Amino acid sequence: MSAHTHDVTPASPQVRRHARRIFTAILVPALLVTLVGAWVLWPTGERPVLETSPPGMTFPTVTVAEVFPDASDPLRQVRATTADGSSAWVQVPPEYLPEIDPGDRIIAADLGSLGTPDSGLVFTDFVRGPPLGLLAAVFTVLVVAVARWRGFAALLGLGISMAVIGAFMLPALLEGKPALPVALVTSSAIMFVVLYLAHGFSLRTSTALVGTLLGLLATGFLATWASGAAHLTGLSGEYALDLLSYAPQARMSAVLLCGMVIAGLGVLNDVTITQASAVWELHGSSPDAGWRELFGRGMRIGRDHIASTVYTIVFAYVGATLPLVLLVSISDRAMLDALTSGELAEEVARTLVGSIGLVLAIPLTTAIAAWVVRATRSAQATQGEPELVDVTVP
């Protein structure tokens, strides 16, 4: 895999040693803490199983043939064709009836498979696999076609991230492991993999990683404080009580805290790699600029990034919780009361915590990047080496 570099000349051994000294003292201990934390917190118990249907029940896929919304008998409103070509009536809840059209493929629970006298088909869900699979295929093709190897590496990193969450974070939360260590270990492991895999092993990437880790620490501790100070229990969500009934060891406050940290990972990664790249490009165009000038010019870029990224976070949460927002808009309660109550307060806290974390990460990353490029230039000047824009770290 090629590194993310813009070298004018190959990095000398002296510059490589200087680069290692800059980051080894930070990143190697951080990686060791992450690995030790994963080992200590690794879930060892058996994961609970959520039984969603009675044993023996089958769920055939059928195609809607006709819809009779005005039929007096609710059991004779949707007629479907089964896989063997036979016709069958499907019982559909009234709220779903307007959404069903002839030709739709739906999944139905076959009550007859249980051997009960009340046999028949009951609507369970729509068949969504083909359109979602097509969207995933289009997304994958476009990412690889536009970003090429880096796009493929980003998709690979995304897959590894999902594996880390599924193999470590989720089972750890189900076992009731402490929330903040689980969130930080998960996030740190993901960022080590994703950043180096997608952007290569370079000083620029290492700078972004340090800024990301600092932002994660700030986000994690701020989320812990906010959860306690605002008494955010995580019990307001519609699935909270269901989860507790199947996994009583899980703590919903821990789930909420982990959600706050994980929700900001993508945006945090975006702003840190952008700021590191901006400082490197500024240094390349003005090699004689000092640290203060590089930091000031980088922060002018960062301020624009902060404004647009905050909008991104807020709009993303509004879109994800739009049904809840609609309910609040028609409520007879005062807006302040609605924003500070129950589930909506959790969303507000999640938005604010994530925004504060990324706002702090931008000046931190910019300052570190400006220091690194100046320190590297000082080392090159001492050794009489030609100017480098970036240095590959082995």
Predicted confidence (pLDDT) per residue in 100-148, tens digit = 999 999 999 888 776 665 668 899 999 999 999 999 999 999 999 998 8
Closest among 67, 68, 62 to 85, alpha carbons compared: 62
Closest among 307, 301, 308, 306 to 281, alpha carbons compared: 301
How many Cα atoms within 13 Å fall on the side-chain side of residue 258?
A: 25
Distances in whole angstroms, Cα of residue 246 to Cα of each of 24, 54, 264, 300, 384: 44, 16, 28, 50, 66
Give the pLDDT score at 6. 40
Q: What is 129-143 written as a DSSP string?
A: HHHHHHHHHHHHHHH
Closest among 105, 103, 122, 116 to 59, alpha carbons compared: 122
Structural element, H or E, at residue 105: strand 105-110
- 8 Å CB contact between 63 and 78: no
Give the pLDDT score at 193. 92
Give the pLDDT score at 7. 38
* Lowest mean per-residue pLDDT among 122-136, 277-291, 370-384: 370-384
What CA–CA distance (Å, rounded) separates 350 from 343? 11
Mean of the pLDDT values across residues 332-344? 67
Backbone angles phi, psi at 183, to 5 degrees: -65, -45
- Chain-centroid distance of CA 333 in Å reads 33
Which residue would you say has higher pLDDT here, 216 or 374?
Answer: 216
Give the pLDDT score at 384. 46
- 8 Å CB contact between 362 and 355: no
pTM: 0.78
- Give helix 203-229 / helix 13-41 axis angle, nearest 10°: 30
Give the pLDDT score at 393. 39
Distances in whole angstroms, Cα of residue 383 to Cα of each of 11, 99, 234, 377: 12, 72, 57, 10
Closest among 215, 249, 146 to 354, alpha carbons compared: 215
Gyration radius of the chain's alpha carbons:
27
- Asked if residue 56 has pLDDT above 60, the reply is yes
**What is the amino acid identity at position 87?**
S
Give the pLDDT score at 118. 60
What CA–CA distance (Å, rounded) separates 86 from 262? 48
Mean of the pLDDT values across residues 48-70? 83
- Asked if residue 8 has pLDDT above 80, the reply is no
